[in-house]
Amino acid sequence: MPQEPPLMAVTGTTLVLATPAPAPAPTSAPTPVRHRSRTGFLSPYARLFSVPGARGFTAGNLLARLPMGMFGISAVMMIAGQRGSYALAGAVTATGMAATALVAPWTARLVDRYGQARIAVPATVIAVLGSLSLVLCVRAQAPAWTLFASYVATATTPNIGGMSRARWTHLLPRSAHHTAMSFEQAADELCFMLGPVLAAFLCTAVFPEAGTLTGAVLLLTGMLVFTAHRATEPPAGGAPGAGRGRSPLRALLPLLGLFLATGLVFGSMEVTSVAHLAALGLGGGSGPVLALQAAGSCVAGLLYGARRPRSLRTCLSWLAGAMALPWAAAATGSVVALAPALLLAGMATAPVMVTAMGLVQSRTPEGRVNEGMTLAVTAILAGIAAGSATAGLAVDHLGTGTAYVLPAAAAVTALLIGSATPRPGR
């Protein structure tokens, strides 16, 4: 519109210049369309990482997040290898998970109140010292209680995924939150897919303590890189007076049941799949098959972030349907049938987690985002622990094929809870 007066003046002066004047309008209009079609799937993520500082804190985030998939299996392999007791190793890691469920929300609250760098770095140092103490106690054949005490200290590990999501929420407009949450979910799955593989390799090919030591180095290095990008850090305490006195627990209570049921899906599916593949004679080589579920979730998370978000009920319906596939495939007794079933089941989990985490972000009081995200993760961890224990009992008493009913039933339960959850704004 601002160009019309010059065109009219030129038209009044000479007819030679007047005829080509309208030409730029039709030729220039298709240009953005062709650009969008070229970028397509990657376009939302290109805009995401065009934010100043985003690439830097994401690099630190990924380094610090990778050990989350390493510490558990590293501790089990190290303790069982040195002490000859899987029962002791399992009890130590279970105690650490219980301690994390108690300590993590308090750590997240301090992070929101005083700032990420101010709290996350010393909390990480305490967790790293706990890991080093565990290695020393195992090597020195110290009493069993020292293993529990050392591993409990690692519960101060900050929720790096929650802090990263809080940064995206602070930096981006609401319209871009869906893409950011999808990327974070894909990063979660990638790290939990690669972490156990790396840990198992280090503990077996190098020495039993290598997995724990490498994880500690990666955690501290990644956290220092992450917190060094202070310009992208959310302000401590949020906006002045906004939500500082309100806990997000009440606002998120309807969703925590959903995350608990989703954790039941994850925990029961993992234990049942490990047992079923071992029964098929693939105990030592089951890793690639199990990784299909995480790989499917990672890919689906990235694809989902480039598309319009769906309702929580729709995503949960997909999950309930997909979790019946491994149950049906297990009845055939064929790995060829089970592998794609696990892949599709994994692809159904990412949309649920992305959408549910988006609801957590929208319902959490301002200035308490990291605490809200950590409460959700804590509920998932509790569900994973309960699902793993329940699946173990089902495998022992009912067999692996029947145990696949558990993740399917947990997914239906999640659908019922999600359907009863009030929509935003109600």
Question: Given a cut of 90, is residue 121 above it in pLDDT?
Answer: yes
240 or 213: which leads in pLDDT: 213
User: Which span out of 13-17, 46-50, 216-220, 282-286 was modeled with the highest average pLDDT?
Assistant: 216-220
**Mean pLDDT, rounded, for 312-336:** 89
* Rg (the chain; Cα; Å): 25
**Mean pLDDT, rounded, for 55-73:** 87
pLDDT band at 286 (very low <50, low <70, confident <90, very high): low
CATH topology for 54-185+194-236 is: Growth Hormone; Chain: A; (1.20.1250)
pLDDT at 42: 64
Domain(s) of CATH 1.20.1250.20: residues in the chain: 54-185+194-236, 246-426
pLDDT at 14: 34
Across 21-25, 126-130, 145-149, least confident range: 21-25
pLDDT in tens, 349-396: 888 888 888 888 778 777 777 788 888 888 888 888 788 778 878 888
d(C-alpha 269, C-alpha 63), whole Å: 27
Question: Given a cut of 70, is residue 208 above it in pLDDT?
Answer: yes
d(C-alpha 181, C-alpha 163), whole Å: 12
pLDDT at 285: 57
* CATH of region 246-426: 1.20.1250.20
- The 3-state DSSP class for residue 226 equals helix
Do residues 158 and 119 touch, judged by C-beta distance below 8 A? yes
Two tokens at 69?
């998939």
pLDDT band at 63 (very low <50, low <70, confident <90, very high): very high
Residue 341 identity (one-letter amino acid): A
Question: Given a cut of 60, is residue 196 above it in pLDDT?
Answer: yes
pLDDT band at 307 (very low <50, low <70, confident <90, very high): confident
- The 3-state DSSP class for residue 140 equals coil
pLDDT at 32: 38
Q: Which residues contact 267 (CB under 8 A, 6 or more apart)?
A: 383, 384, 385, 386, 387, 388, 389, 390, 391
pLDDT band at 284 (very low <50, low <70, confident <90, very high): low
- The 3-state DSSP class for residue 89 equals helix
pLDDT at 41: 56
Two tokens at 402?
């029947």
